[in-house]
A and B are shown apart, each in its own frame.
Chain A
Amino acid sequence: MVNALAPETTERVHSPRDAGSTGSAVDGRRRTRLRRRQAVVGYLFLAPTLLFFAVFLILPLGFALLLSMSRWAGFDLGDIDPVGLDNFADLFVDGSTFLAPILTNTLLFALGTVALALAGSVLVANCIDKLRLQGLWRTLYFLPIVTTVVAIGNVWKYMYEPGGLVNGVLNALGLGSVAFLQDPDTALPAVVVVQAWASVGTAILILTAGLKSIPDSYYEAAALDGAGPVTVFWKITLPLLRPSLLFVCITQFITGLQSFALIIVMTKGGPGDATNVAALEMYRQAFSYGDWGTASAAAFVLFAVVLVVTLVQLWIFRLKGEDT
């Protein structure tokens, strides 16, 4: 994932070598001893981390790759039956639901949440910037982020019910009730709204940081030229906010492509496959049907999609002369 911090900071290296060495033989021996001691200590300090990465990163990656090219029924590791790329072929064979609707849903889900969250957060962040009590507002917008997906999913699921808040508002406005999560046409958009609602807070935070970094002199110059607030927003704020926007865009898109916890809680992928997404399908193949091979293959396909989408976004941004 992309990070806000620059990955490498320039280090000021003051090794023991530079620290007042006179070049004598005694110093030399001391230096070697120090360096050897640092190496031992360094690896000692890193030992838990390296052990963890070996067991929970390297081993699983190899394991997942092996499984994705095998058929495996049971729990005995000796029964793993290599089948080459059959699992991948099965995902894309005619009549498979993986490409459509599942991958399509995944992309629509990610696109929808990014579009909604971005539009909402740009608007709100820009407006908060003009108000007092900014901390209070940001805290309010932050509530969904610190809340478990189980709470968010259940509250919204309940609000979408015929006797729930959303339909209550619709009825009060004289409109009929909508079976949001039961209707295949509305289920996916309904879940998208919730995911966007849950992620607006983070986006606001990052955009606010971006807004703060725009020099006041630009706005003063615009005011002197008599530019209205809308012009200022389109001609100054948005272009200068682009790095933050790109960052929000990429991270939210990645999150959107991968998320499924909310969907498990709200719809379990239904009705039918209307809200089924790739990560959920993978989860179900593995843990409901015990088809570890297909599930692992689906995981790698999703990984590839995430990677490609991210690279394409980065490429587009480069093309526009922006460095993220």
Chain B
Amino acid sequence: MIRRRFPWFSYLVVVTGAVLTVVPFLDMVMTSFKGPGESGTLPYRFLPEAFDLSNYRAAIDQLDLPVLFRNSVIATALITGSVLLTSSLAGYALAKLRFPGRNFIFRLVLSTMMFPPFLFFIPHFLILVHWPLVGGNDLFGRGGAGLTVSITALAMPFLVNGFGIFLMRQFMVSIPDEVLEAARIDGAGEFAVWWRIVVPQTKPVMVTLGLLTFVDAWNEYIWALLVSTANPDVMTLPVGIQLLQDYVDPTRTMPIVMAGLVLSILPVLILFLLLQKYYIRGVMLSGLK
């Protein structure tokens, strides 16, 4: 059998697939530049007549984009920061410290990854509504809206991530104990050992976990929808754009919605392109999503 120099069949498959993957994004971008009456009309046209930037201005105006953006940024920052911190701390304890109950806690962490998220939507929402002594609630969580009035509600259920702890622990196990022991003999406390020795060594896996968490938090929709239904002030970008899509005439405002979508996925897209090596490693490690 003669080995073909040029694997034309493979190119055909891969290029066709890549076109199928990319075309919806191109359609989104093209539609975002279409003028009034240019989208949703027959026959379908891919390219806009003129690249009309007014949809972007309209999206920014109609959507109150700065507020949505701010809420998304705050929630994403809270989640990413907290997940990194708690995963690193807990991972260190589970990997390098010895204490009774350690194995049980590790198993608990593993088991959290098995519970489906939808099981928690209702109780999480009720817990936040009935959080004691905030948002007009009394000591028994009655009378007010609880934590659902604050931006923190967007982040609360995601502040700790079982997979994150697991990932950090697996990585930290391979750090030699001798290094930690030497630091301890030099008089470093456990906190200093963690901060000065362990954290610097785990930077690559921190970037991986941080990026995975960031992308998930930025794109989260269902929980943010739930919280902002109770309190529209904490609406995030995905929720706001979906709302615009729901309430206005689809043929006229589709370009505006698409402009909003382009703006909303841009930050995460740029970050992904810059750090995709880490993101891809994270997905391969987790295999989730």
Residues of A within 8 A of B (CB): 1-5, 7, 9, 11-16, 19, 35, 37-39, 41-43, 45-46, 48-50, 52-53, 55-57, 59-61, 63-64, 67, 75-77, 120, 123-124, 126-128, 130-131, 137-152, 154-156, 158-159, 161-165, 167-168, 171, 197, 199-202, 205-206, 209, 223, 226-229, 247, 251, 254-255, 258, 260-261, 264-265, 279, 282-283, 286-287, 292, 295-296, 299-300, 302-303, 306
Contacts and interface: CB of A to CB of B under 8 A. Distances in A.
Given A127-B7, A148-B264, 14 more contacts: A7-B110, A55-B127, A63-B123, A64-B122, A64-B123, A77-B142, A143-B21, A145-B283, A197-B21, A209-B284, A247-B287, A264-B225, A287-B226, A299-B122
B173 interface: yes
Residue of A59, A146, A197, A282 with highest tally of chain B CB at under 10 A:
A146
Nearest to B45: A168
B56 interface: no
Given A147-B219, A155-B25, A130 B7 contact: yes
Contacts of B247: none
Contacts of B221: 148-150, 261, 264-265
B141 to A, nearest CB: 7
Interface string B183-223: 00000011100100000000000000000000100110110
Given A45-B89, A77-B141, A279-B118, A165 B23 contact: yes
9 contacts: A13-B98, A19-B181, A48-B85, A63-B123, A151-B261, A154-B245, A162-B42, A163-B42, A200-B21
B11 A60 contact: no
Interface residues of B, number: 116
Given A150-B242, A161-B250, A141 B18 contact: yes
A156 B140 CA distance: 46
A19 B173 CA distance: 18
A61 B65 CA distance: 36
A209 B41 CA distance: 44
Given A150-B221, A197-B20, A49 B285 contact: no
A60 B119 CA distance: 9
Contacts of A123: 13, 17
Contacts of A14: 177-178, 181
Nearest to A137: B14
Interface in B18-72: 18, 20-25, 27-28, 31, 39-46
A149 B221 CA distance: 7
B254 A158 contact: yes
Interface string B153-190: 00011011001011000100100011001000000011
A302 B20 contact: no
Nearest to B40: A163
- Among all A-B residue pairs, the 4 with the closest Cβ atoms: A168-B44, A60-B123, A127-B10, A39-B99
A202 B18 contact: no
A4 B286 contact: yes
Contacts, number: 308
A31 to B, nearest CB: 11
A49 B90 contact: yes
Contacts of B14: 124, 127-128, 131, 137
A11 to B, nearest CB: 6
Contact of B170 (A5, A38, A77): A5
Residue of B160, B226, B237 with highest tally of chain A CB at under 10 A:
B160
B22 A143 contact: yes
Given A56-B124, A142-B280, A163-B40, A46 B105 contact: yes
Interface string B238-280: 1101100100001100100110010011001100110010011
A45 B93 contact: yes
B46 A165 contact: yes
Contacts of B110: 7
Contacts of A205: 280, 283-284
A45 B97 contact: yes
Contact of A57 (B105, B112, B142, B226): B112
Contacts of A201: 21
A164 B102 contact: no
Residue of A42, A139, A164, A165 with highest tally of chain B CB at under 10 A:
A42
Nearest to B169: A9
B86 A49 contact: yes
Contacts of B231: none
Residue of B9, B100, B166, B288 with highest tally of chain A CB at under 10 A:
B288
A4 B123 contact: no
A120 B121 CA distance: 32
Given A4-B287, A163-B39, A283-B121, A131 B10 contact: yes
A124 B141 contact: no
B245 A48 contact: no
B261 A155 contact: yes
Given A42-B97, A142-B280, A151 B264 contact: yes
Nearest to B167: A5
A306 B286 CA distance: 19
Nearest to B156: A56
B280 A146 contact: no
A178 to B, nearest CB: 13
B108 interface: yes
